[in-house]
Amino acid sequence: MEAKRLTIHVNIDNMLLPMTVTDTEQEAVIRKAAGNVNQQLITVRERYKTVPNDRYYDVMVMLNSEIKALTAENRNDTSPVFGVIETLEKEIDELIKK
């Protein structure tokens, strides 16, 4: 059975964007993300009042969002930790066998 799809509209920088969602959880995430983007736009506009054009604000927000996403992704990468644990387990097993 296919999930029910619903079109919602989110407002980012006075621009209504149609988004298709499949559940209320996804809708909540999209609406929160739109609110975060709007807040970031307000922040950069207050902080940087003289830029060549408004596109700079959009690019600053996009770059900041990507930096945050990559930083969070790196923090959540536990594979190096599991590699170290695996190595330690092998070393402990070898010591126990002696």
> What is the chain's percent helix, strand, coil content, to nearest 5?
65, 15, 20
| pLDDT surpassing 70 at residue 77 | no
DSSP secondary structure string for all residues of 41-82: HHHHHHH----SSTHHHHHHHHHHHHHHHHHHHHHH--HHHH
Check residue 84 and give its pLDDT: 74
pTM: 0.69
Residues 6+ apart with CB under 8 A from 89: none
In this predicted model, which residue has the larger pLDDT, 4 or 16? 16
Confidence category of residue 1, pLDDT binned at 50, 70, 90: low
Q: Over the stretch 29-64, which tens digit does the pLDDT of each residue have? A: 999 999 999 999 999 999 998 889 989 999 999 999
User: Rounded distance, CA 96 to CA 87, Å?
Assistant: 14
User: Rounded distance, CA 42 to CA 33, Å?
Assistant: 14
Confidence category of residue 20, pLDDT binned at 50, 70, 90: very high
Residues 6+ apart with CB under 8 A from 95: none
